[in-house]
Structure 1
Amino acid sequence: MPDCEPLIYLFVPGNRPERFTKALASGADRIIIDLEDAVAPECKAAARTAIGEWMADSDAPRERVLIRINDAATPWHADDLTLVSTVRALCVMLPKCETPNQVAAVLACLPKDATVLPLIETARGVVALHEIAAAPGVTRLAFGSLDYMADLDIPAGSLALQFAAAQIAIASRAAGIGSPVAGVTPDLDATRVATDMANARTLGFGAKMCIHPSQVAAARTALAPSAQELAWAQRVLQAWNTSAGDAIQVDGKMVDRPIVLKAERIVAQAARTN
């Protein structure tokens, strides 16, 4: 499983090019320039033009920039594919992803070694999870939780939502790709953002999408191990490294290789989120 995947993805509307560089300076690991929900239908053509001009003229690190296109069922999808092909996008976010063929169609428009980040937002997408996760060009999945709630007509906090999230995490692990990206939190309150990310962590998620720069710090903090978790992990590793392979106990509990692997991951995550 990749262990250096981005932690924070920040959306920025594609028709607001004056915000693109600011978004890169927000502390997010990646920015997602949006052509979908954040852009009204009558503004999509202008947004494509703005993105094309910025990508052509900007010296921004292209590896930190994703473009979210409109899904394959919309009238804007073909023009979006032309754009990402023209600007040679390195990663495209594909909403309403339901088949690996949709991934392949996007990937065919991109440079060699580019990737697609599928958004799982429908029941059909969940049913096809394992095929999508295993598709060439996919290095992780993202959960469009708000659209998924609309698709199933379920409220926030529904067990059906948690079930889908857990399935996304399981499919990701089975495919050997990175831990998935949690959906956005509409509330800008830092406590709400942190709580949502903490809950997503318990389901196997390792990153989060944000819709406002003010959410970035809270999401990153929630992804970091607690002081207690880190202290425990350091005790485990110290004891293990001095044990010469013998059975050991830490805090009155037996420690074996799986526990050591968990401790190693906690220490690595702490280093990444500092």
Structure 2
Amino acid sequence: MTAFPLTWLYAPGDRPHVVAKALTSGADIVVVDLEDAVAPDRKAYARAATAELLADLPPVPVHVRVNALDSAWAEQDLAAVAPAPGLCALRLPKISSPAEVVRIAQHAVPTGLPLYALLETALGVERAYAVATAHPSLRGIALGEADLRADLGVCDDAGLDWSRSRVIVAARAAGLPPPAQSVHPDVGDLEGLAASCAHGRALGFLGRAALHPRQLPVIERAFLPTEEEIEQAETIVKAAATEPGAQALPDGCFIDTAVVAAAQRTLSLAHRR
């Protein structure tokens, strides 16, 4: 897996042929979904098919989104997939407290298995930092925007921007990577996806979850640095190597340690090109 994954492709666990296509789609991470994408009468089949898939090492990292921890299926999901050798991480939906993360990390999964918490309610967003610092096994947090919209009664997309920024700040304050942006549900609206990604990148997201392989190139282009950004980052890193410490570049741009770190991340992303 790349140091900065940009594309996270969801695939329903009860459709192994779709999962197989996802694994060859070019996504950085494939998320096999046992939750929202699977009807109640298909949960057992999805769980068994996913456990079978993860009995061997897949060609790309695979995360599994289990069912909500207070559902009738969560314990069976965890028992079936958590020990699988091909599993890279678990995605935990509808997290609203740090205690839920701790319970899974300490009692339900192998020691050290990476966990990602999805915040999908007002309460989850309000407790974002507490969740982000709940346990060392937690490697990231993200929003589940469909459920959050319903909880908040938000109609306009801009109504989610405060929650988005809250989660981004909480992740960074906790020392976690910048969150990936939530899915764009209209898989045919690639122009809208690109515009939404540009907005998300401006807020501080890094990468995005996708529902269809056709969305992947749009997401990657949106979050990769431009040629101008790469050139500026190279100038900053070169200047810092020549003269350590805070300084002003010939164009008047002031740089310090934080600016140099950002430039180094830009160049790391540029290597994906």
Question: TM-score, with normalisation over the residues of structure 2?
Answer: 0.90
For 1:105, the equivalent position in structure 2 comes to 103
Instruction: Count matched residues.
Output: 268
The CA deviation at 1:122 is 0.5
Identity across matched positions, percent: 34
Would you say the 8 A contact 1:33–1:66 is kept in 2? yes
The CA deviation at 1:244 is 6.3
- Which segments of 5 or more consecutive residues in structure 2 lack a partner in the other structure? none
Change (3 A) 1:250 1:16: farther
Secondary structure, aligned partner of 1:185: coil
Residue 81, structure 1, aligned to residue 78, structure 2:
yes
Task: After superposition, give the CA deviation of every residue in 1:172-200 in whole Å (9 maximum; x if it has no partner).
Answer: 11111111121000122332222222211
Question: Counterpart of 1:174 in structure 2: which amino acid?
Answer: A
> Which residue of 63, 77, 85 corresponds with 1:66?
63
Would you say the 8 A contact 2:181–2:205 is kept in 1? yes
Would you say the 8 A contact 1:172–1:180 is kept in 2? yes
Would you say the 8 A contact 2:233–2:267 is kept in 1? yes
Please, which moves more after superposition, 47-56 or 253-262?
253-262
Question: Counterpart of 2:79 in structure 1: which amino acid?
Answer: T
Q: Determine the C-alpha separation between the residues in 1 that align with 2:34 and 2:232.
A: 44
Question: Counterpart of 2:167 in structure 1: which amino acid?
Answer: I
Change (3 A) 1:254 1:124: closer
Question: Counterpart of 1:147 in structure 2: which amino acid?
Answer: D
Q: Determine the C-alpha separation between the residues in 1 that align with 2:7 and 2:261.
A: 24
For 2:45, the equivalent position in structure 1 comes to 46
Q: Determine the C-alpha separation between the residues in 1 that align with 2:57 and 2:114.
A: 21
Change (3 A) 1:130 1:254: closer
Change (3 A) 1:47 1:251: same
Residue 270, structure 1, aligned to residue 270, structure 2:
yes
Q: Determine the C-alpha separation between the residues in 1 that align with 2:102 and 2:255.
A: 44
Question: Counterpart of 2:176 in structure 1: which amino acid?
Answer: I
The CA deviation at 1:118 is 0.5
Question: Counterpart of 2:81 in structure 1: which amino acid?
Answer: V
Secondary structure, aligned partner of 1:206: coil
Q: Determine the C-alpha separation between the residues in 2 that align with 1:171 and 1:247.
A: 30
Would you say the 8 A contact 2:8–2:208 is kept in 1? yes
Question: TM-score, with normalisation over the residues of structure 1?
Answer: 0.90
Q: Determine the C-alpha separation between the residues in 2 that align with 1:243 and 1:97.
A: 46
- Which segments of 5 or more consecutive residues in structure 1 lack a partner in the other structure? none
Task: After superposition, give the CA deviation of every residue in 1:202-230 in whole Å (9 maximum; x if it has no partner).
Answer: 22211211011111111111110112211
Change (3 A) 1:86 1:246: closer
Secondary structure, aligned partner of 1:139: strand
The CA deviation at 1:28 is 0.9
Change (3 A) 1:82 1:247: closer
